[in-house]
Amino acid sequence: MLFKVEMTVNIPPSLPAEQVDEIKAQEKAYSQRLQREGKWLHIWRVAGLYANVSIFDVADNQELHDLLTALPLYPFMTIGVQPLCRHPSSIH
């Protein structure tokens, strides 16, 4: 199943910089692993924001939920999810 996921990150300024750096490093490693596994198909930065638009290809709603809630930055995120289906005019 394909999903469009919009994520906006809001890290509190009171969080120590060292902790933020560690969380970001964990986030990068986890997201790149999911990309290599073919679950996180695309990720685009939203210009001017600490936000992204991503496309996930997972088995079902529960798998997406599990992947998103395991993101190290999840506690600091606002997330929007939209299920996708193939468009009949697509040549792919």
Give tens-digit pLDDT for 25-82: 999 999 999 999 999 999 999 999 999 999 999 999 999 999 999 999 999 999 999 9
Give this prediction's pTM: 0.92
**What domains can you pick out in the chain, each with its CATH number?**
1-82 (3.30.70.1060)
Please, are residues 63 and 2 in contact by the beta-carbon 8 Å criterion? no
2 contacts: CB under 8 Å, gap ≥ 6: 41, 55, 56, 57, 83, 84, 85
At 15 the pLDDT is: 97
Confidence label for 92 from pLDDT (cuts 50, 70 and 90): confident
